[in-house]
């Protein structure tokens, strides 16, 4: 066993600015884990973040956000939102600024089905990796550690944890938050590696992804289709395109249904000829999109549609580790920001001072966040079915598809985040009182 690190920069007897007396380790340096870390640090709670990757990659490079996600960023920390705003791209045309997505009939030359409106904000998109790097820069030096792939967690006699990493090193912490993505080791350890819900489920589709310079996209697709966010739908397929990096790049995602994923790897190299064959029955706009995928690869889409709990004792999950989703509502990553807002609000609450109080906070987090996030996961799958023209109640009827799309996102976007935090805090007090009564009885 290599050297051991204490997650806290201070001794166990020291007290943070918030009055709490425990150390926190966040496993995973994605957007959810980083935003939680920033929120905690800015509330006077020191953390350490352990990221398994040794270097940054562009996997899943483009992300879409709506008003609830941006509101959560601001409430966690204005610094997070400012970092986002410096990189984000909205619709390229002024008359589309409140449009979330234009949904178009991909069997044609892009005939409009409906423009889904998200009042006041429309949609904003960002390059995932570059945004994550900006968030790391907001953390104190010595807080973020790369190359720390988690392989196990041991329970300590005092109720805390020892994290064990693939490099032979370890770290101690009183509290662990798993934010290590859809293939989460933390999820497996928390639920049990034999639990069926511990591993992701194939969502019945795969995607080709790409990102091209905007100048090329305009030359191929034209101004309107390149500079604004679009979803072209077709039988068993859909294509989503949207600008990122202040409109200098166009993100491309082309999804196709598939009954089973029979490869060991989730990403499999492909060829342009195979892509063309997969979308041979699509219209000219969709054909133009796939023509720009110079080095195509098939990305299997998985998700986490079920989970019996997001916590056990002082160990909890957030983001994709808890509720990984398909991309069909543009809401998955936004839920990680909501997670971070609720969790950092609870951990900074005056009721949470000692390590044993953290379990109460996690119980409140689970009660509030798990129902909403799992609904997002399952309705995202459903929206993929609708946009592949095989929805149970919509089929290929464009009128029914339009009626559904025009209203199905509102419950996600128009969430009262302040009320969600208040509900979580009320639940925290309820759980704390029940625990205190139980202790008194003993």
Rounded CA separation 375/338 (Å): 14
Distances (CA, A) of 46 to 161, 216, 287, 289, 425: 17, 46, 51, 46, 21
Let me know if 149 is a catalytic residue. Answer: no
SS3 99: strand
Rounded CA separation 290/311 (Å): 42
Rounded CA separation 6/14 (Å): 13
Q: Are 384 and 328 in contact (CB under 8 A)?
A: yes
SS3 340: helix
DSSP strand pairing (175-178 vs 62-65): unpaired
Cβ count near 86 (within 10 Å): 12
Q: Are 423 and 345 in contact (CB under 8 A)?
A: no
Q: Which residue among the candidates 104, 107, 209, 370 is catalytic per the annotation?
A: 209
SS3 115: strand
Burial class of residue 183, CB neighbours in 10 A (0-12, 13-18, 19+)? middle
Rounded CA separation 46/175 (Å): 12
Catalytic residues: 209
């Amino acid at each position: 066993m290599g050297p051991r690190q204490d997650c806290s920069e201070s001794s166990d007897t020291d007290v943070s600015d918030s009055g709490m007396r425990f150390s926190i380790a966040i496993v995973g340096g994605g957007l959810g884990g980083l935003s939680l870390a920033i929120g905690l640090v800015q509330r006077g709670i020191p953390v350490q973040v352990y990221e398994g990757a040794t270097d940054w990659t562009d996997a899943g490079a483009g992300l879409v956000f709506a008003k609830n996600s941006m509101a959560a960023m601001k409430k966690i920390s204005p610094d997070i939102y400012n970092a986002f705003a410096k990189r984000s791209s909205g619709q390229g045309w002024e008359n589309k600024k409140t449009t979330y997505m234009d949904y178009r009939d991909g069997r044609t030359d892009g005939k409009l089905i409906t423009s889904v409106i998200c009042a006041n904000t429309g949609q904003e998109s960002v390059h995932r990796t570059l945004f994550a790097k900006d968030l790391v820069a907001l953390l104190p030096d010595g807080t973020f550690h790369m190359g720390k792939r988690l392989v196990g967690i041991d329970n300590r006699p005092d109720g805390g944890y020892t994290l064990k990493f693939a490099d032979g090193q370890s770290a101690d912490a009183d509290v662990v938050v798993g934010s290590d993505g859809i293939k989460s080791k933390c999820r497996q350890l928390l639920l049990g590696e034999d639990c069926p819900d511990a591993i992701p489920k194939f969502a019945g589709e795969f995607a080709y992804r790409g990102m091209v310079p905007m100048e090329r996209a305009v030359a191929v697709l034209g101004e309107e289709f390149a500079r604004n966010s679009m979803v072209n739908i077709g039988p068993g397929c859909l294509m989503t395109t949207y600008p990122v990096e202040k409109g200098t790049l166009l993100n491309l995602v082309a999804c196709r249904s598939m009954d089973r994923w029979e490869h060991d790897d989730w990403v499999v190299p492909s060829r342009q000829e195979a892509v063309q064959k997969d979308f041979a029955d699509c219209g000219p706009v969709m054909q133009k999109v796939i023509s720009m995928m110079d080095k195509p690869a098939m990305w299997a889409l998985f998700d986490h549609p079920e989970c019996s709990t997001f916590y056990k004792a002082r160990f909890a999950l957030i983001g994709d580790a808890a509720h990984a989703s398909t991309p069909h509502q543009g809401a998955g990553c936004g839920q990680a920001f909501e997670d971070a807002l609720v969790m950092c609000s609870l951990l900074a609450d005056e009721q949470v001072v000692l390590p044993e109080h953290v379990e109460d906070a996690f119980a409140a987090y689970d009660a509030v966040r798990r129902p909403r996030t799992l609904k997002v996961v399952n309705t995202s799958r459903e929206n993929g079915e609708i946009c592949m023209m095989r929805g149970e109640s919509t089929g290929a009827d464009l009128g029914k598809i339009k009626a559904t799309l025009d209203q199905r996102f509102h419950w996600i976007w128009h969430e009262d985040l302040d009320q969600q935090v208040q509900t979580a805090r009320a639940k925290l007090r309820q759980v704390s009182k029940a625990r205190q009564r139980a202790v008194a009885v003993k």
